[in-house]
Amino acid sequence: MGVEDFRQQDHDRDISAVRNFYAGVLLLAKEALIRAVPNADPQHVIGAKLNRLRKKALALMWHC
């Protein structure tokens, strides 16, 4: 957050800053994963865990 944002003490700006920080951390993590396995398809590296989580989430929704 910038100094002006801090001085305004706007709750919405605080939430936006946290969301942007989290998005940046996720992008860095994805890049680290891709670089850790240089010969693999990036979509397989990034999406492998996501697909399993999505299937589990759908299964949980059907059981509720």
Q: What does the alpha-carbon distance between residue 64 and residue 43 come to, in Å, rounded to a whole number?
A: 31
Q: What does the alpha-carbon distance between residue 62 and residue 54 come to, in Å, rounded to a whole number?
A: 12
Interval 7-47: pLDDT, tens: 677 788 778 888 888 888 988 988 998 898 889 888 877 77
Q: How many domains does the chain have?
A: 1
Model pTM score: 0.55
pLDDT of residue 19: 87
Domain extent at residue 29 = 3-63
Rounded to 5°, angle at Cα 16 from 12 and 20: 175
Q: What does the alpha-carbon distance between residue 23 and residue 21 come to, in Å, rounded to a whole number?
A: 5
Paired tokens of 21: 């920080």
pLDDT of residue 3: 57
